[in-house]
Amino acid sequence: MARFARSVRRRSTSIFNRRVPRGAGITATVLVIAGSLGYGIVKGDHVATVLTAFKDARDQGANAVGFGIVSLALSGHRHVTREEVLATAGITGRSSLLFLDVGEVRERLKTNPWIADATVLKLYPGELQIGITEREAFALWQMSGRVSVIAHDGTVLEAYVAPGLIRLPLVVGRGAAARAKDFLALLDRYPDIRDQVRASILIGERRWNLRLRNGLDVRLPESEVAQALERLLALDREVKLISRDIAVIDLRLLHRVTVRLSPAAAQARWDALKDKKPAKKGGNA
């Protein structure tokens, strides 16, 4: 029993006499402080601020050794300004060429709806070249009383209509932006009708109405739209239907055209019928 007790004492003494690795205390302290700082940064939602500060310090170091952006060539931009391009790309006077991620800059630029594509080229030590491919303004889209400029694919380019774009075709209604390209291409085949259209209105996301410049509404069918436009064109050439004093031309039925008189024309017709005297009956044979 005494021998067992002596053995236990020796083992305990050897455990406590083992040397702690040099610097372990400092390392543990640093880890605790770093963990606390990391927790505080994440908990306080300061991650973005810390990353921005780190990037600024990194760029300052690169600029100090000659890798700053001293020349920037920008081409292809018409609707977007130079300032808008730089702001979207995230390029500032503190940015360095060395740490600029061209892939990231390109993806940022493409978030601007006007920019369909972009090329970014770094030429060391200090030149940056950016080429912009812009979308074309195709039409105006009115929805809930607001008018926007859209591209061929229906992308909303901007909510403000510049004076130079005011003459673009106008489409109205939910879903009209996405379907404008195909319908306006069909309408282009009939320039005599197209030139009189003030707005193309999508009804129930199913079919189109044409609002002409003289206020006349033309109701088109869901299908066989080309045939309906052919009939309208033929009737206009034959009896000048579009220029008559009517309010609606309904072409939704394939073999029938229905017209509705304007209020003034309807009233005039009613007055004429009311004032018309009945014919006298014949006398003796």
More confident residue, 276 or 122: 122
Over the stretch 40-89, which tens digit does the pLDDT of each residue have?
A: 544 555 444 545 555 666 767 767 777 789 999 999 999 999 999 999 99
**What confidence score (pLDDT) does residue 179 get?**
96
Alpha helices in the chain (DSSP H): 2-17, 24-43, 47-64, 82-89, 102-109, 176-187, 191-194, 225-239, 263-275
In this structure, are strands 127-134 and 115-123 parallel, antiparallel, or unpaired? antiparallel
Strand, helix or coil for residue 114:
coil
- Taking the model in full, what pTM does it have? 0.71
Q: In what order do the strands lie in the sheet with 115-123?
A: 71-75, 127-134, 115-123
Over the stretch 124-175, which tens digit does the pLDDT of each residue have?
A: 999 999 999 999 999 999 999 999 999 999 999 999 898 999 999 999 999 9
Domains in the chain (CATH in brackets) are 64-134 (3.10.20.310), 139-271 (3.40.50.11690)
Least Cα distance to 184 among 157, 161, 154 occurs for: 154
